[in-house]
């Protein structure tokens, strides 16, 4: 359970890193955009959670493609670090677009109240089970897409060796658009899943960003199976930290994990070379 939902935005972050080779910090803002798109679909259009997450995926994904094409792509020749700076500026700009429209108030989704399921002594919330199921379905879909479709293979080829992929006639711009659609879509989906448990506000995405980075780095930046392993590791570590640390420090666990992994095994659990 712990970390499964975190894996969704972490896959998005790491996939974009794998193809475009820069840390796109706007996953935070796109998670927020997805959460709010799902919120509108849920409250204004009355869609149930499982349908609203599709809206969250699409809106965040399309926003991701537009933002990359219009804002970040022209800066690509300036190098990865300039892109990282631009991404953090764009993240603030996007967050404030959400803030302008929705304000700073915390908002909750409209979900039908359901009685907890009892499994022996355990009590399980049906909504949490549904969130978990949505996260798993999204991940399985991504794996099937990358493993079996022609487009998915093209994406992996570009991530693996952009020059060779170019020689073989793979259109790098198309792959870049696609990875933004899928990656930012997953960020948006993840943002909504995280919001379903609690409430959402313009900083929803930013609050989990440290855990998302940690999941991606611990698993190995650029490795999609790594992001899943990393997210579960971070999720379990965050839960275990509650035994010894105040709950407020949950997110600091991610930072500590990043420092430990970079010191001992910079490539992460399943990653390639990190230098």
How far apart, in whole angstroms, are the C-alpha atoms of residue 218 and residue 231?
A: 8
Q: In the beta sheet, which residues pair with residue 123?
A: 118
Structure tokens given for 60: 């965040």
The region of 55-63, 161-169, 227-235, 241-249 touching another protein under the rule CB under 8 A is 241-249
> Which residue of 66, 92, 140, 164 would you call a contact of another protein, by CB under 8 A?
92
The region of 89-97, 140-148, 181-189, 236-244 touching another protein under the rule CB under 8 A is 89-97
Compute how many residues bind another protein; rule: CB under 8 A: 48
Residue 32 half-sphere exposure toward CB, CA atoms < 13 A: 28
Q: Which of residues 23-42 bind another protein (CB under 8 A)?
A: 23, 25
Q: How far is the CB of 76 from another protein (least distance, A)?
A: 11
Residue of 186, 150, 137, 165 lying closest to 19 (CA atoms):
165
Residue of 35, 1, 29, 2 lying closest to 193 (CA atoms):
35
> Which residue of 45, 46, 66, 103 would you call a contact of another protein, by CB under 8 A?
103
Residue 198 binds another protein (CB under 8 A):
no
| CA distance from start to end of the chain | 33
Contact, 1 vs 65, CB < 8 A? no
Residues in touch with another protein (CB under 8 A): 17, 22-23, 25, 71, 74-75, 78, 80-82, 84-86, 88-93, 95-97, 99-100, 103-104, 206, 209-210, 213-214, 217, 221, 246, 248-249, 251-252, 254-255, 258-259, 262-263, 266, 274-275
């Amino acid at each position: 359970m712990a970390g499964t939902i975190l894996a969704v935005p972490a896959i998005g972050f790491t996939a974009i890193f794998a193809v475009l080779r820069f840390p796109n910090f706007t996953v935070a803002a796109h998670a927020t955009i997805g959460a709010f798109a799902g919120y509108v679909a849920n409250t204004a259009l009355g869609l149930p959670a499982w349908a609203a997450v599709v809206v969250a995926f699409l809106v965040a994904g399309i926003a991701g493609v537009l933002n990359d094409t219009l804002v970040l792509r022209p800066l690509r020749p300036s190098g990865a670090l300039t892109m990282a700076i631009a991404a953090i500026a764009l993240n603030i700009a996007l967050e404030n677009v959400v803030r302008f429209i929705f304000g700073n108030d915390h908002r909750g989704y409209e979900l039908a109240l359901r009685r907890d399921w009892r499994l022996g002594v355990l009590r399980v919330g049906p909504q949490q089970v549904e969130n978990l199921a949505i996260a798993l379905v999204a991940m399985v879909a991504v794996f099937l897409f990358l493993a079996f479709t022609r487009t998915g293979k093209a994406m992996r080829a570009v991530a693996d060796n952009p020059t060779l992929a170019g020689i073989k006639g793979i259109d790098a711009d198309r792959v870049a658009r696609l990875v933004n659609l899928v990656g930012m879509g997953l960020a948006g989906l993840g943002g909504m899943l995280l919001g379903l448990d609690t409430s959402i506000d313009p900083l929803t995405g930013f609050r989990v960003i440290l855990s998302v980075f940690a999941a991606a780095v611990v698993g190995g930046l650029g490795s999609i199976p790594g992001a899943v392993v990393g997210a579960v590791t971070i999720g379990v570590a965050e839960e275990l930290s509650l035994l010894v640390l105040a709950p407020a420090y949950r997110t600091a666990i991610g930072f500590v994990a990043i420092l430990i992994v970079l010191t001992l095994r910079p490539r992460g659990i399943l990653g390639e070379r990190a230098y």
